[in-house]
């Protein structure tokens, strides 16, 4: 009995759309968008069927069409590629597929820009910072010096008019990227100098879940304010109860 080929019709379908059949008035960009959509559809089918080899080939071609810096279609396709790649990981436990390396990883400056845009466009983050700063100021009123973990420029601006004696403030910032901490320290230092505010900056290169409280520069008897925005949830995923207890 003659065997039946089960190879996917991926490239036949794509080529017939992108090279053979052309709609009047369609330009090259429109043609590529249709090819992108067809590739995504086939990737979904191949991933669902568990045909990872064919899906991997499709991912490779998709990586040349999708882009996180392209038009809306290319950006959406990039998100779909990443999601499908993780689906492959879930279904194929023999190893991490190459497709995970096809999605562009944001650099540190790009990550900081995205966070800044998110902060500018969504007011609830600003409100959270404002309420936190006001709470810190009221709790530490009349006490000096002040030790603050993970704080911001706005806190310095708010403390200046509310404290006539101008206490010294020590800000300890925790971040995984050293370059982010360096930029933060420079920015806060300039602002403190402009306001003639006694200031000390302590950078700690670490993730919150791996942080050892014993290494923090905390002095006994000093007022201490701890603020963490969109980070404490990471501790809930920790499997190490001892580390959780230390925090």
Longest Cα–Cα distance of the chain, Å, equals 94
* 81-132 residue pLDDT tens: 888 877 777 666 554 545 455 555 667 777 778 777 887 787 777 777 777 7
Domain ranges of the chain: 10-101, 114-246
What's the whole-number average pLDDT of the chain?
70
Task: Record the pTM.
Answer: 0.43
Tokens of 79: 């998100």
Helix axes 108-121, 178-194, angle to 10 degrees: 50
User: How many angstroms separate the CA atoms of 231 and 84, rounded?
Assistant: 27
- Structural domain 114-246, CATH architecture: 3-Layer(aba) Sandwich (3.40)
User: How many angstroms separate the CA atoms of 84 and 76, rounded?
Assistant: 12
User: How many angstroms separate the CA atoms of 72 and 168, rounded?
Assistant: 49
* 166-223 residue pLDDT tens: 567 778 888 888 888 888 888 888 888 887 777 788 888 888 778 887 878 777 777 7
Helix H or strand E encompassing 60? helix 52-63
């Amino acid at each position: 009995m003659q065997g039946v080929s089960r190879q996917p019709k991926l490239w036949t379908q794509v080529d017939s759309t992108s090279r053979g059949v052309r709609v009047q008035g369609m330009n090259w960009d429109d043609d590529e968008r249709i090819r992108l959509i067809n590739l995504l559809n086939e990737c979904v089918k191949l991933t669902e069927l568990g045909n990872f080899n064919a899906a991997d080939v499709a991912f490779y071609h998709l990586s040349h069409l999708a882009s996180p810096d392209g038009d809306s279609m290319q950006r959406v396709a990039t998100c779909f590629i990443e999601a499908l790649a993780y689906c492959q990981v879930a279904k194929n436990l023999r190893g991490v597929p190459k497709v995970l390396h096809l999605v562009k990883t944001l650099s540190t400056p790009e990550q900081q820009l995205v966070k800044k845009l998110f902060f500018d466009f969504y007011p609830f983050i600003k409100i959270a910072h404002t309420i936190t700063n006001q709470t810190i100021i009221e709790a530490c009123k009349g006490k000096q010096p002040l030790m603050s973990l993970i704080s911001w420029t706005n806190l310095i601006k708010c403390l200046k008019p509310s404290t006539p004696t101008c206490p010294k403030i020590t800000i300890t910032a925790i971040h995984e990227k050293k370059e982010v901490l360096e930029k933060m320290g420079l920015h806060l230092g300039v602002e403190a100098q402009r306001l003639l505010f006694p200031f000390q900056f302590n950078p700690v290169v670490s993730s919150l879940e791996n942080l050892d409280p014993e290494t923090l520069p905390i002095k006994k008897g000093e007022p201490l304010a701890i603020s963490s925005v969109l980070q404490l949830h990471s501790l809930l995923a920790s499997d190490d109860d001892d580390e959780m207890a230390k925090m």
